[in-house]
Amino acid sequence: MADTPPQAKAKAPAEPAERGRTTIADGVVEKIAGLAARDVLGVHAMGSGLSRTFGAVRDRVPGGGKAVTRGVKAEVGEVQTALDLEIVVDYGVAIAGVARAVRENVIAAVERMTGLEVVEVNIAVTDVKLPDEGEDEEEAEPRIQ
């Protein structure tokens, strides 16, 4: 009895989920991570002082909207992603605890929503929000009337 030649064997069609490729843009992962980080108690804002200043100006421009990705940078590959976050914490919180909670929340949200493996989440604490600081010190009193 001879084996059937390989070219004569019928190839089973691929499952529908395997017919094609899905790519996820860096910006998508940045938005997910930014929202997840902001959900953590003790995170006052995202981004460095300079990016927050530019963001405040952009927020005032009609149609500018809030930048959810401010303070978040993602590198996305085919199956993995790495993230860098800049956060501002509230005065009095345990920074290491906030960083750990941010890391856990971001990893859980990104992996659940994208299916990508998060290989690292680097967090830079760029500032501490003091209780007596206003939201925007520049807006405290107008210079001209």
Per residue in 76-114, pLDDT tens? 999 999 999 999 999 999 999 999 999 999 999 999 999
CB burial of 38-54 (b: ≥16 within 10 Å; e: otherwise) equals: bebebbbbbbbeebbee
pLDDT of residue 52: 45
In one-letter notation, the amino acid at residue 56 is: A
Tokens representing residue 38 in the block: 């902001």
Q: 0.85 cut: is pTM over it? A: no
Tokens representing residue 72 in the block: 């978040």
At residue 13, does pLDDT exceed 50?
yes
Residue 82's SS3 state is: strand
CA 133 – CA 120 distance, rounded (Å)? 32
pLDDT of residue 49: 61
pLDDT of residue 50: 53
In one-letter notation, the amino acid at residue 9 is: K
At residue 142, does pLDDT exceed 80?
no
